[in-house]
């Protein structure tokens, strides 16, 4: 099980939307930041 925050969920949603738009430039940089802040 992975701990996930509301912000992480929204970044994942953004990523899914980017995939739908075929946006290969999408970089979920804040997701990496959150993983460093929230104990996993």
Partner 1 sequence: MLFASNYVLLGQGINNENELKEAGKIADKFFQALTLLDQPEGKEMLNGITFDGNSEYPVLSSSNILYENLFDTDVSGVKGYKRLAMIKATSRADTPIELRYILISYKDLTDNRWKIFAFREALDISEEVRAAKSHIEPPSSIDPRKLQSKYRNLAYWEIMDGKNFRSNDRY
Under rule CB under 8 A, residue 29 binds partner 1: yes
Alpha-carbon gap, residue 6 to 34, rounded angstroms: 11
Under rule CB under 8 A, residue 2 binds partner 1: yes
Under rule CB under 8 A, residue 36 binds partner 1: yes
Angle at the Cα of 24 (from 23 to 29), degrees rounded to 5?
100
Shortest CB 22 distance to partner 1, Å: 11
Binding site for partner 1 (CB under 8 A): 1-11, 13-15, 17-18, 21, 23, 26, 29-30, 33-34, 36-39
């Amino acid at each position: 099980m992975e701990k996930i925050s509301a912000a992480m969920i929204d970044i994942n949603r953004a990523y899914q939307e980017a995939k739908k738009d075929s946006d290969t430039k999408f970089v979920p940089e804040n997701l990496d930041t959150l993983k460093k802040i929230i104990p996993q």
